[in-house]
Chains A and B, each alone.
Chain A
Amino acid sequence: GDSVTQMEGPVTLSEEAFLTINCTYTATGYPSLFWYVQYPGEGLQLLLKATKADDKGSNKGFEATYRKETTSFHLEKGSVQVSDSAVYFCALSGGSNYKLTFGKGTLLTVNP
C-alpha cells in the first residue's frame, strides 16, 4: 500500500537558518503530494502541494519539488523564523480513494 517516510525529528534551528525536511513516498500510479503544518493546539493547514512530476509547490517561503525519479518531496526554506515552529506532515493522495496517507510528522523548533 501507499506509504510516506519523513525525516525523524525533532529539528532545532536558529532563526535565519536553512531548513530541509526530507520526505519520500511509495505509491502506485501518480499521487498528489502535500505538506501540511500544524501549530500547537491547532488543526492541520495545507502549506503547499504538487500534483505531477517536476511540479514545485511554494508558499510562505517554503518550497518542495515533486521528484518522481527519486520518489521524494523534500520541504525547504531558505531562512526560518521563530513563527515557523510547528509540526510538519508530508502526505500523499492517490489512486481511486479519497484518503490521505501521512508521514509521522517532524517537529521543528526555531530559536531566536
Chain B
Amino acid sequence: DAMVIQNPRYQVTQFGKPVTLSCSQTLNHNVMYWYQQKSSQAPKLLFHYYDKDFNNEADTPDNFQSRRPNTSFCFLDIRSPGLGDAAMYLCATSRDQTAGPYNEQFFGPGTRLTVL
C-alpha cells in the first residue's frame, strides 16, 4: 500500500544534542510537510517542500531545519533540542494542487520525541 512512513516512532535525545527524524513516502507526492504537535493541541505546521522548493513558516524557530534529498524522503533536523521541543512530529504529503481542487494531506504515524 502507498503510504507515509516515519522513523523512528519514538526518539529520545538529550538536551542540546542534535537529532534527525526521517520521513519517506511511496505516494510520489510533490508536497511534503512537517508538523509539530504538542499534547492536546492541533498540529502546527513548521515548513513544507513543494518539490525542492522549501517554505518555512514565519514562526518556526531557526533550531528546526529540513532537507529533502529526493521526492521520497524528507528529514527534520533539530540542531539543539530544548525541553520545549518534546512533542509528536508528524510528516504529511499531498499532491500538486493543480491536480485537483482540494489539498488532502496524508499523514505518517508520527515520531514521539522525548528530550531529557
Interface residues of A (CB under 8 A from B): 32, 34, 36, 41-46, 49, 51-52, 89, 93, 98-100, 102-105, 107
In angstroms, Cα B41 to Cα A105, docked, is 7
Give chain A residues whose Cβ lies under 8 Å from the Cβ of B42.
89, 102-105
Q: A99-B45, A102-B43, A104-B41 are in contact. Are A41 and B104 (CB under 8 A)?
A: no
Known: A49-B102, A49-B104, A99-B45. A43 touches B40 (CB 8 A): no
Which of B11-19, B65-73, B74-82, B107-115 has 4 or more CB atoms under 8 Å from chain A? B107-115
- Report the bound CA distance from A89 to B45 in whole Å: 15
Q: How large is the interface on B (under 10, 10 to 19, 20 to 34, 35 or more residues)?
A: 20 to 34
- A46 near B104 with CB under 8 A, answer yes
Contacts A/B (CB < 8 Å), 6 sampled: A32-B101, A34-B104, A42-B109, A44-B90, A98-B103, A100-B103
